[in-house]
Amino acid sequence: MKKIIVTPHAPGAIGPYSQAVETNGTLYISGQIPINPATGKIIEGGITEQTEQVMKNIEAILTEAGYTFADVVKSTCLLSDMANFKAMNEVYGKCYPEKAPARAAFAVKELPLGVLVEIETIAVK
């Protein structure tokens, strides 16, 4: 049985998808982009600021579902440009100081709303 996870502390879905879905002890978090949930707007700044907001959004969803970053087993990072990888990685790494999850990182042609980064996450209890 699947449970839809929704929190006002992360951006609402801007299409036909859920912020996250939990089933059988696994939480699937949809790709998060750097939208400030309080304003509904993309945060200002570069890749560092955008990655910080993405990770805050992921943390809010994890918390709502009763998980933490320690429960994350896989992330997929989508970047507008691989030149942003190092700066994204520095912010991302602060959330996983030990026992980091598996991860893939790709540069893509375009991301929603012209953002620089989007990260999807899977966590398991």
**Domains, the chain:** 2-124 (3.30.1330.40)
Per-residue pLDDT band for 86 (boundaries 50, 70, 90) equals: very high
Which position has the higher pLDDT, 13 or 96?
A: 96
DSSP string, 10-44: SPPPSSSS-SEEEETTEEEEEEE-SEETTTTEEPS
Specify the pTM.
0.96
The Cα–Cα gap between 28 and 91 comes to 21
What mean pLDDT do residues 50-76 have? 98
Quote the CA–CA distance of 4 and 115 in Å, as a whole number. 25
Cβ count within 10 A of residue 101 = 17
**Cα 121 to Cα 85: distance, rounded to the nearest angstrom:** 17
Beta-strand pair 117-124/35-36: unpaired
Residue 14 in this model has a pLDDT that exceeds 90: no
